[in-house]
Amino acid sequence: APATRLTLSRVRLPSLVLFLFKIPIIASVLFFMAMGKKATCRASFEKVLERYYFDSSRVDCDDVFYGYTRPMRHSGWVRGAVEIVRAMRDYDSSDDARRLDIPVLILNASHDKIVPRPEVENLQKCIPHAEFQTISDCGHNPHEEKPDVLLGMIDDWLKRNQKAL
């Protein structure tokens, strides 16, 4: 098996920032300073849509804005977000992935700017029975941008692998 490490640690941060991120109150302040009101600002959100969707006209932008910013209107959201990032940053799932002994479907959107194709290909290398498929003309959120295509791909894959599952 290839010596591949599956983590979410694409971003290389200075040692001091990493150290400070381990202190919850400081991590919350740093995160809030970085996000601030930008997270719930409609103009900033429009730029986010450009990163997450290949064609944002396929989704109801008002619904998406409300859905994604709703948690940010509650106290404690910054701390929760920081804890998620901290927990995921150093978790290496390579060994878990290599132990999978059932068919696995890995889907990647052709225009995903959040999870680059090489990372998805890395995942495929770690999983012995993985099948890789690409959703064309789609960004990071195929469940919102192309739900019928996504469900069709999953349904076809499940039918082909029914006995093995």
Reported as a single tens digit per residue, the pLDDT across 2-12 is: 444 444 444 45
Residue 142 to residue 145: CA distance in whole angstroms: 5
pTM summary value: 0.70
SS3 category, 19: helix
**pLDDT in the model for residue 3:** 44
Residue 107 to residue 117: CA distance in whole angstroms: 10
Residue 59 to residue 66: CA distance in whole angstroms: 12
Residue range 87-114: average pLDDT?
Answer: 86
pLDDT exceeds cutoff 80 at 137: yes
Residue range 87-97: average pLDDT?
Answer: 76
- DSSP letter (8 states) at residue 72: G
pLDDT exceeds cutoff 80 at 163: yes
Q: How far, in Å, are 10, 59, 139 from residue 7 at the CA level?
A: 8, 30, 21
Residue 6 to residue 148: CA distance in whole angstroms: 29
Q: How far, rounded to the nearest angstrom, does the alpha carbon of residue 164 sit from its chain's CA centroid? A: 27
Between CA 125 and CA 129, with CA 126 as vertex, the angle to 5 degrees is 80
Domain boundaries, the chain: 15-89, 94-160
Residue 72 to residue 30: CA distance in whole angstroms: 16
Which tops the pLDDT comparison, 153 or 22?
A: 153
Which range scores top for mean pLDDT: 12-26, 34-48, 138-152? Answer: 138-152
Residue 32 to residue 141: CA distance in whole angstroms: 25
Residue 50 to residue 155: CA distance in whole angstroms: 29
